[in-house]
């Protein structure tokens, strides 16, 4: 179905029982986000807030709240998009089956953006930035943020929409040092197309023109997060996915998406930054206040009866998980086509995506060798860490499976397969002093930290413990040892102080285990943590706390550790220090008073009765 606007989509969802209207007045300061979180957690419908306190505009959220709802929205185009991506990966197929693939060519006509359309609804009115719903998501947020923006920039050397970039980079509308209605914060991370555009503009000493679109056909939002190859315009993808050409005009040198609900225009001048943040982000922690580009606001446009779209991020899984699932469904084997030998890769959402990747590769280098050991998977691992946003991965586990029985989506079984085979003296490979995700505060500074590759392959080496070995229950300075999953034990330690103290604690642990002659062959991994009960309670708790709170080069230790020719290893077990460190950002937490206040909407007679 081709949606001409966001409202078209919302009415379609409502007609099919996938949307609820919130008719009571709701405060954008924490209340709207709290409602969204509660409904999303319950697997509930999309929400249309009809009375937003302090704004004349309506707002909508949880639009893409489940994969099923996202599939419904794009039900008429998903198969065609998959086919087009497959043809790009396998052009010979198009030649072998020209008539079968004729529809793909016709659909591709929608990819051509349409300039100067007759109808330009977003230019209906000019408004002030402060008239937009000022949604504050978490108690410690620095102000109101745009969380579903489509940020449009052009290459100053190759102007025009076909060389433009459309990305989803959060925008801070208020707070901090921003001049109300005249400035906004523009936060973007590493490996983003907008960074290339700003670099080129800076070199010429010219401002970068920025247009922020909000709303419009839902395909525009998905296009903004789609990891397209460099040189392919997101606007062409939006046209194919939405079965409607991307419509645009230029106003005073700014590109305007005419189907959007809102457009914010402005300029980013070279060297002009202001503090942006804090913001409760998708790792489940606050990204803290840091200098980021400041956007000098020009004109702000809105269509008649415009609807402001938003989402809420926090500890995963949240609505952005569905984006990832949808992208995975559309792209299929595209990454495997790009990286020879790669069979499967899974960015683990419960760990915040970038902190943890699981991969399955091939081992074809030395079939004549009687001993199975990692070879080709090491090459594949390096390729993964050099590919787009995958290069932000912090922990990469990789193995090979000749029988094709392993699945990276079955996380526990996959990790058990690795743990049964890993050689702790051979299979651990560190990358130090490198880049990590901007939102990950486990490293040494913003964007800086380390990576580790666990490349395990070969015959099974060990059984995995399903009960805590007795000797781990009687350690001085450590307590409450619990099984997280077969082969992994969580041990509660004292509050983390500093690296020096941590080193002494690890030495003490090593000494105690050796003195007790503790046999731990069945426990390849020990996790030091603040709360062993929490870590062992659910797999997702382990994935989140362990991989978001560890900087591999600093926080991975080993019993009986050694370094030979600069390669580090240990006789085992490996110890991951997953305690909260003083330099970490605080985790996001709900406000109890706000939670109590929104109960009225879920009680009998409220708009959201029955959803909890």
pLDDT tens digits for range 93-109: 433 444 444 455 556 67
Per-residue pLDDT averaged across 175-192, rounded?
A: 88
pLDDT at residue number 94: 39
User: Token pair of 500, please?
Assistant: 């020096």
- Whether the per-residue pLDDT at 142 is higher than 70: the answer is yes
Edge-to-edge, what's the strand order for the sheet holding 254-257?
Answer: 114-115, 247-251, 254-257
pLDDT at residue number 230: 63
Arithmetic mean of pLDDT over the chain? 91
Per-residue pLDDT averaged across 374-394, rounded?
A: 91
Q: What share of the chain is helix, strand, coil (3-state, %, to 5)?
A: 30, 25, 45
- Top CATH class of 6-73+112-310 equals mainly beta
- Whether the per-residue pLDDT at 13 is higher than 60: the answer is yes
Residues 6+ apart with CB under 8 A from 106: none
**Model confidence pLDDT, tens digit, residues 496-553:** 999 999 999 999 999 999 888 888 999 999 999 999 999 999 999 999 999 999 999 9
Per-residue pLDDT averaged across 313-332, rounded?
A: 88
Confidence of residue 368 (pLDDT cuts 50, 70, 90): low
Per-residue pLDDT averaged across 55-70, rounded?
A: 97
Per-residue pLDDT averaged across 391-420, rounded?
A: 94
- Whether the per-residue pLDDT at 258 is higher than 90: the answer is yes
- Whether the per-residue pLDDT at 170 is higher than 70: the answer is yes
Kindly report, as residue ranges, where domains of CATH 3.40.1670.10 are found in the chain: 319-455
Homologous superfamily of the 319-455 domain (CATH): UbiD C-terminal domain-like (3.40.1670.10)
pLDDT at residue number 229: 66
Q: What percent of the chain has pLDDT over 70?
A: 94
Per-residue pLDDT averaged across 343-364, rounded?
A: 92
pTM more than 0.85:
yes
CATH T-level topology, domain 470-577:
UbiD C-terminal domain-like (3.40.1670)
pLDDT at residue number 573: 95
Per-residue pLDDT averaged across 305-316, rounded?
A: 96
Q: What percent of the chain has pLDDT over 90?
A: 78
CA atoms of 27 and 136, how far apart (whole Å)? 9
Per-residue pLDDT averaged across 135-146, rounded?
A: 97
Give the range among 169-183, 220-234, 468-482 with minimum mean pLDDT: 220-234
Check if the beta carbon of residue 359 is closer than 8 Å to that of residue 395. Answer: no
CA dihedral 545, 549, 553, 558 (to 10 degrees): -40
pLDDT at residue number 96: 43
Kindly report, as residue ranges, where domains of CATH 2.30.110.10 are found in the chain: 6-73+112-310
CA atoms of 91 and 94, how far apart (whole Å)? 5
Give the range among 15-24, 105-114, 134-143, 169-178 with minimum mean pLDDT: 105-114
């Amino acid at each position: 179905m081709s949606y001409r606007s966001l409202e078209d989509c919302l009415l379609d969802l409502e007609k099919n029982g996938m949307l609820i209207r919130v008719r009571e007045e709701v405060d954008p300061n924490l209340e709207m986000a709290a409602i969204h979180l509660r409904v999303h957690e319950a697997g509930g419908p999309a929400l249309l807030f009809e009375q937003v306190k302090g704004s004349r505009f309506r707002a909508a959220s949880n639009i893409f709240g489940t994969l099923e709802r996202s599939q419904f929205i794009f039900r008429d185009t998903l198969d065609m998009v998959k086919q087009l991506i497959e043809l790009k990966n396998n052009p010979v197929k198009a030649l072998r089956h020209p008539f079968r693939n004729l529809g793909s060519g016709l659909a591709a006509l929608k990819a051509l953006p349409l300039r100067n359309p007759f109808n330009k609804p977003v230019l209906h009115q000019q408004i002030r930035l402060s008239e937009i719903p000022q949604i504050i998501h978490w108690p410690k947020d620095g102000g109101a943020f745009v969380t579903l923006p489509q940020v449009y920039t052009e290459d100053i050397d190759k102007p025009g929409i076909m060389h433009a970039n459309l990305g989803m980079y959060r925008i801070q509308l208020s707070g901090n040092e921003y001049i109300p209605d005249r400035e906004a914060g523009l936060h973007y991370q590493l490996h983003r197309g907008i960074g290339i555009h700003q670099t080129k503009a800076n070199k010429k000493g010219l401002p970068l023109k920025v247009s922020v679109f909000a709303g419009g056909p839902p395909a525009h939002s998905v296009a903004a997060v789609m990891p397209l190859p460099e040189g392919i315009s997101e606007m062409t993808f939006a046209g194919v996915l939405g079965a409607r050409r991307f419509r645009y005009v230029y106003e005073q040198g700014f590109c305007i998406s005419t189907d959007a609900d809102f457009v914010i225009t402005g300029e980013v001048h070279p060297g002009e930054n202001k503090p942006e943040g804090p913001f409760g982000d998708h790792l489940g922690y606050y990204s803290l206040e840091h200098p980021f580009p400041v956007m000098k606001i020009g004109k702000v446009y809105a269509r008649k009866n415009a609807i402001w779209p938003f989402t809420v991020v926090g500890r995963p899984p949240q609505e952005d998980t569905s984006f990832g699932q949808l992208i995975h469904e559309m792209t299929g084997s595209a990454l495997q086509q790009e990286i020879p030998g790669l069979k499967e890769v899974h960015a683990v959402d419960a760990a915040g995506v970038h902190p943890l990747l699981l991969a399955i590769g091939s081992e074809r280098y030395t079939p004549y060798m009687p001993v199975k050991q990692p070879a080709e998977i090491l090459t594949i691992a390096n390729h993964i860490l050099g590919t787009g946003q995958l290069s932000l991965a912090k922990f990469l586990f990789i193995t090979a499976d000749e029988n094709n029985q392993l699945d990276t989506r079955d996380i526990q079984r996959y990790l058990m397969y690795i743990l049964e085979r890993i050689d702790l003296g051979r299979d651990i490979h560190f990358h130090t002093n490198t880049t990590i995700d901007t939102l990950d505060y486990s490293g040494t500074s913003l964007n800086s930290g380390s990576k580790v590759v666990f490349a395990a392959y070969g015959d099974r080496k060990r059984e995995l413990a399903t009960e805590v070995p007795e000797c781990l229950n009687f350690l001085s300075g450590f307590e409450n040892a619990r099984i997280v999953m077969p082969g992994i034990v969580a041990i509660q330690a004292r509050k983390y102080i500093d690296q020096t103290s941590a080193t002494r604690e690890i030495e003490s642990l090593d000494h105690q285990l050796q003195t007790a002659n503790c046999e731990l062959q069945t426990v390849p991994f020990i996790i030091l943590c603040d709360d062993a009960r929490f870590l062992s309670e659910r797999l997702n708790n382990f994935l989140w706390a362990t991989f978001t709170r560890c900087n591999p080069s600093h926080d991975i230790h080993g019993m009986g550790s050694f370094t030979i020719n600069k390669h580090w290893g240990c006789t085992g077990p490996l110890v991951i220090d997953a305690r909260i460190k003083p330099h970490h950002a605080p985790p996001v937490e709900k406000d109890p008073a706000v939670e109590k206040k929104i109960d009225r909407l879920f009680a009998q007679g409220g708009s959201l009765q029955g959803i909890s």
